[in-house]
Amino acid sequence: MRRTAAAAGVVLVHALVQALLVLPGLTPAMGVGFVALAAASAMALVAFWATTLVLVGTPGARRPRIVRALAAVIVALVIVGALTVLSPLAGAVGLLVAFVVASSAGGADAGALDGPRSFRRHPFRAVLLLVATALTIVVAVVAALVLGLFLTGAFGAFLTWVVAGALVVPTARGWARLAVRARG
């Protein structure tokens, strides 16, 4: 219960930070202000993901888990970002793979292949969770589009990130648990 409350707090703080970054209302341009806000938003996203991975991971020494989660998140976001520039569909597939690979990074004694190993050890559960993750990505994208269309500004950004966080945390938890089962 304590981890659930902590995860909810992380989701709300991240949503609030992202909403505050929208307040200046800068339009996308290569101005210093916009680039600074975009960089702050990316750092907030990395912090959110890494904190979430540590919260959903198995308990253990905190420092290695944090470093491993940060590294996994940064690598995953760079790859997903590059794939999204190529094609939005490629970005969605990259995000799906990132969930599988990176979600176990916050656990104690986690390895890079713990997520993919779950397909060998528990194929039915892994495929079921993969389908659920794909549906989660679709729901998050549709929610972001609908909220962005009807609720703009800081309030819309806040709700968008709350919905995204509410979808991300249980999905990451599912992959982290499945990776632990694959190791055991």
Contact 118, 180 (CB under 8 A): no
Give the pLDDT of residue 179: 85
Q: Residue 29 is encoded by which pair of tokens?
A: 């341009």
96: Cβ contacts below 8 Å, ≥ 6 apart: 130, 133, 134, 137
Question: What's this model's pTM, rounded to 2 decimal places?
Answer: 0.86
pLDDT band per the 50, 70, 90 thresholds, residue 142: very high
pLDDT digits (tens, 9 = 90+) for 16-54: 999 999 888 777 777 888 888 889 999 999 999 999 988
pLDDT at 181 over 80: no
